[in-house]
Amino acid sequence: MPHFIVEYTDNIKEEANLPKLFEEIHKVLIARDTIFPIGGIRSRAIELKEYRVADGAEDDAFVHAVFKIGAGRSDEIKKEVCTALFEVMKEHFSSLMAKRYLALSMELIEFSEAGTYKQNNIHARFKK
């Protein structure tokens, strides 16, 4: 962990440039490698083809991100990291938002390690 998952409406697929968004998100998280192990960082996107926004009268779009982390970080750290991640999202989509109706949102999901199963040999590359 952490995982950054983006759902986005298909009507912005060409302009969304999600690889660039993920690059910037990873920079934020890698800069906090004492909080989040680099080998556990993941990003992915889910394109939505079936959706309705507001009253359905316009070609509205949205991007919703879920930031999933394991439990154990302080409220201050969670707030600081989430604020930094959402700032990246706002900057990344600012030009698109200036041209069309677009809603951005992000939520933090923190879960207990109980019931979570993982195996990862990527972490070994980043041991100091």
Q: What is the pTM of this model?
A: 0.91
* Mean of pLDDT values over 84-103: 98
Specify whether the CB–CB gap between 38 and 126 falls below 8 A. Answer: yes
Complete DSSP assignment for 93-119: THHHHHHS-EEEEEEEEEE-STT----
Share of the chain above pLDDT 70, in %: 99
User: How confident is the prediction for the chain on average, in pLDDT?
Assistant: 94
Residue 78 CA to its chain's centroid (Å): 14
Q: 47-55: which pairs have CB atoms within 8 A and are 24 or more residues apart? A: 47/8, 47/10, 47/13, 48/7, 48/8, 48/9, 48/10, 49/10, 51/9, 53/9, 53/101, 53/103
Higher pLDDT, 26 or 113: 26
State in Å, rounded, how far the first CA of the chain is from the last one: 18
For 95, counting Cβ atoms within 10 Å of its Cβ (0-12 exposed, 13-18 middle, 19+ buried), the class is exposed
Quick: pLDDT tens for 77-93. Answer: 999 999 999 999 999 99
Q: Is the pLDDT of residue 50 over 90?
A: yes
Positions marked catalytic: 2
pLDDT the model gives residue 128? 63
Quick: pLDDT tens for 7-24. Answer: 999 999 999 999 999 999
Phi, psi of 43 (to 5 degrees): -135, 145
